[in-house]
Amino acid sequence: MTTLAEHLQAWVAARPERAPIAETITALARAAAELAELVRLGPLAGEMAEVIAESRDGVGQKALDVRAEELFEAELERAPVAYLASEERDDVLELNPKAPLAVALDPLDGSANIAQASLMGALFSIFPAAGSGPQSFFVPGERQLAAGIVLYGSFTPLVLALDEGVYSFALDPRTKRFILHRKELKVPTWRAEYAINASNARFWPLPIKAYIEECVAGAAGPRGVDFNMRWVACVVADVYRILINGGIFLYPGDTRKGYEHGRLRLLYEAFPIAWIMEKAGGLATDGFHRILDLVPKDLHERTPLIFGSRDKVARVMELHHASVPPAGQRPLFGTRGLFKAGS
């Protein structure tokens, strides 16, 4: 049973300059283990679902959001991290200005699920520190040095994407150590499954409508197979599910006010997800562009996000790049429609 510490020790032994990255990952893992205990306690830890402040997404900042931020910040203060960009902060926080790294973090994804005892998680990316704080983050996603997610569910996996692959470590709550349980993860391609919030279908752009109609048509349609749909309102859960089962996740921009560019943040949500997906053989896009080629102009910039099995994501990109008419005439997207199904 290989611990996270042992895995990182071997990783650093191959290239000693990786030591600061390993130290930072260790700090993030310590905070995640502490947060997992709070999540497990639920209401016994206090009114963690209480809204205590406004938030940019309009749902309100919860008590557990703040506690998660505090736990991660406290651990990163002791790590070789110069700057922290967090979903919970308007601006970059300077920690250790002479340190070599910068961390982008969503300390608690899915906080609307707190009171429902449903899934929640965290996402992080590690970048080289450069110049002032914001300059460290206004770079292409390709510049990431490592990325990961933590999922608080029936158990607590930490998925870590390093330069050579993707690994999943399960938290042992008795020792607060993460133990390697899946290595060299690859996104399966066979699963006919998609995740999208179908209640927003009337607002979707035409390429998304076209793709979902192909899936809904099932075995009788152009895709030639019956699809299942999933939606849990926690993107970390969808990342983990797709890593294990395959499939595709779609959160497009749409015509609702405030949703023109989707709802997920490019820096600390889309970037780590895209890094993990590509290291595991999958793909992530905004519909037209590879996510890791994008450059944030703002710490909290939003982006449409589609990720998962490479063949399925490529099909969505193909539909975006096709000559799509400006009005949604449904016959164009039927089983004998304009768009020929890909793989």
Q: Which residues of 278-307 are buried (b: 16+ CB within 10 A; e: fewer)?
A: bbbebbbbbbeebbbebebeebbebbbbbb
Average pLDDT of 54-67? 79
Q: What is the DSSP string of 275-308?
A: HHHHHTT-EEESSSSBGGG---SSTT-EE-EEEE
Beta pairing class for 61-62 and 51-53: antiparallel
Pick the residue with more confidence: 337 or 153?
A: 153
pLDDT of amino acid 168: 98
User: Crossing angle for the helix pair 271-279 and 235-245, nearest 10 degrees?
Assistant: 10
Q: List the one residue out of 123, 121, 133 whose CA is nearest residue 81.
A: 133
Per-residue pLDDT, averaged over 324-343, amounts to: 41
Mean pLDDT throughout 9-34?
98
Specify the domain boundaries for CATH 3.40.190.80 within the chain: 193-333
206-235: average pLDDT: 93
Question: Token digits for 137?
Answer: 């983050």
φ/ψ bin of 281: left (φ > 0), alpha (ψ from -120 to 50), beta (otherwise): left
pLDDT band at 218 (very low <50, low <70, confident <90, very high): very high
Q: Quote the pTM value.
A: 0.92
The residue-averaged pLDDT of 13-37 equals 97
- The confidence band for 58, taking pLDDT boundaries of 50, 70 and 90, is low
CA atoms of 85 and 71, how far apart (whole Å): 15
Cα-trace Rg, the chain: 20
Sorted by sequence, the CB contacts under 8 Å of residue 70 that are 6+ apart come out as none
Q: Who's near 143: CB < 8 A, 6+ residues apart? A: 127, 128
Inform me whether the pLDDT recorded for 314 exceeds 70. yes
Mean model confidence pLDDT for the chain: 91
- H/E run at residue 235: helix 235-245
Residue pair 169/178 in contact by the 8 Å Cβ criterion: yes
Q: State the Cα–Cα distance between residues 264 and 206, nearest whole angstrom.
A: 20
The pair phi, psi for residue 320, each rounded to 5°, is -65, -35
The CATH topology of domain 4-182 is: Fructose-1,6-Bisphosphatase; Chain A, domain 1 (3.30.540)
Domain with CATH 3.30.540.10 in the chain: 4-182
Q: Quick one: what percent of the chain has pLDDT higher than 70?
A: 92
The CATH number that domain 193-333 falls under is: 3.40.190.80
Task: Tell me what pLDDT residue 322 has.
Answer: 86
C-beta of residue 255 within 8 angstroms of C-beta of residue 201: no
Looking at the chain, the number of H-run helices and the number of E-run strands are: 7, 17
214 φ, ψ (degrees, to nearest 5): -60, -40
